Chains A and B, each alone.
Chain A
């Protein structure tokens, strides 16, 4: 089955053909997807070797000359390792890039903690002006990547994962989509968590919003959803639990509300195994979500 990352290689190669402003910057990881593109565009397919600080610094330098760099490696090496480069070379220099990560929170569980990055979005959240896309399907990854590249000199993060939903939805790079409507709470399912959330909330009277662009956070959509469904809000994110809690509470700052942030736990699991085993361990499988969401909105209904 085609992964988001497979699609990224295809689409980014095509973008190199289509747009002379685009450059792809790599640090070895992912280079096999660009063998043909490298032949066609030797000046715009740049592999700096295993040098992640240089990876981000080079992208920023490209941007300073007017290029639109797409930067790709595993999330742990793209956001966490060169974080000061992300903060200063892109933020402080007031220039932009499209960072496209792979690996996500635990796409390679057998690889262990060194290749896991559940904290990437929370870390970017300490910085100003980042757009964050979390697609849930390869088609959505393509759409959001194209939005990201077309976004002038904006700073954009596209988080690719092996976790995915069965079917794509028509995402637009900005708004949350309403997937189901109810009256006893709002569940925001982020990217690849949607299918599991729909299974977990089967029979519960909740609104389900689908979010693939998390920053900026679609405050209007959340507020609108709470008008019919009330202000009990559950966020289900495929990365660090609570990452978007601040955004949700800011959206509802002027009304009484409750927010439950579900996601990957902080404690290092120190387990290998499979993606599904890790989802279950963090309570992000359907039974785990149903138990916690049900208890939360159930309690809300009693007190209402």
Chain B
């Protein structure tokens, strides 16, 4: 078993092509690809060698549907062996159609049921702060339709009011919600006292700038717009 950690963005399509069997979530998988890459390549302070370090940055994939891009990035960065990818979804594989933190090195949470990641991220941010670990950032990735879940509304309202400034949410917006939020996604976060940015979810420079924008005293939400699910 070899772990190669020096792959680049250009390797991701090949890594993703090793995984088959969840084609119905293909759109969900590719919508997150650039966001995940920019985060893991340039933003998150976490590596396979520091995957258990208390002061690592946390990335919580809440949108557990279509995790192929996630697994590809984890393989590219050396968290999981590339050899695991072809087994995707099989009985003996640690890589399911929804990720399991107990089975996947580097996965902070198991997800699939929508609306769990952001509340878990709120608790993680509170837990780090209570232990004096003010350095690590907590990131959670959710989908625009996932925002329909009431649990997310609970978390957004609380995190803004509590000023959890080490909490970051990236909403990958592929316009898949049947009843979109009036005024747009960012407005929902702004109303709850979050810092926000809305950017092209395929533009790495724009994503990086949005991800690293200062937001003192407030949690930060980045809405990453990608091509609409139904237009592809």
Contact = CB atoms under 8 A, between A and B. Distances in A.
Top-3 shortest CB links A-B: A61-B123, A57-B119, A65-B127
Given A65-B131, A85-B151, A93 B109 contact: yes
Interface residues on A, range: 20 to 34
Main secondary structure of the interface of B (DSSP, over half): helix
Contact of B119 (A20, A61, A66): A61
Nearest to A52: B154
B116 interface: yes
A62 B109 contact: no
B46 interface: no
A58 B157 CA distance: 13
Contacts of B155: 51, 54, 57
Interface stretch (A41-49, A140-148, A218-226): A41-49
B45 to A, nearest CB: 15
Interface string B114-126: 0110111111111
B93 interface: no
Contacts of A44: 130
Interface residues of B, number: 32
28 contacts: A23-B127, A23-B130, A43-B126, A43-B129, A46-B126, A51-B154, A51-B155, A51-B157, A54-B158, A57-B118, A57-B120, A58-B122, A61-B122, A61-B123, A62-B126, A64-B127, A65-B128, A65-B131, A66-B54, A66-B131, A67-B127, A88-B110, A89-B116, A89-B119, A92-B110, A93-B101, A93-B110, A93-B120
Contact of B124 (A46, A49, A62, A84): A62
Interface string A210-251: 000000000000000000000000000000000000000000
Given A54-B151, A93-B110, A65 B101 contact: no
A59 interface: yes
B129 to A, nearest CB: 6
B212 interface: no
Interface of B: 54, 100-102, 108-110, 113, 115-116, 118-131, 133, 150-151, 154-155, 157-158, 161
B111 to A, nearest CB: 9
Contacts of A153: none
A53 B119 contact: yes
Given A54-B151, A64-B127, A65-B133, 7 more contacts: A57-B123, A58-B120, A60-B120, A61-B127, A66-B54, A88-B110, A93-B101
Most buried by A among B101, B124, B154, B157: B154
Most buried by A among B102, B126, B151, B155: B126
Contact of A43 (B108, B121, B122, B130): B130
Interface in A248-288: none
Contacts of B121: 61
A72 B115 CA distance: 21
A154 interface: no
A67 B110 contact: no
Given A51-B158, A54-B158, A64 B124 contact: yes
A48 B127 contact: no
Most buried by A among B121, B123, B126: B123
A20 B155 CA distance: 25
A94 interface: yes
B129 A88 contact: no
B130 A49 contact: no
Given A48-B158, A51-B154, A57-B151, A89 B120 contact: yes
A58 B119 contact: yes
A239 to B, nearest CB: 27
Contact of A64 (B113, B120, B133, B150): B120
A51 B154 CA distance: 6
A18 to B, nearest CB: 15
Contacts of B109: 64, 93
Interface in A48-102: 48-49, 51, 53-54, 56-67, 69, 84-85, 88-89, 92-94
Contacts of B123: 57-65, 69
A275 to B, nearest CB: 32
Nearest to A48: B158
A20 B133 CA distance: 13
Nearest to B161: A49
Nearest to B101: A93
Nearest to B115: A53
B124 A88 contact: no
Most buried by B among A65, A84, A89, A92: A65
A69 B118 CA distance: 18
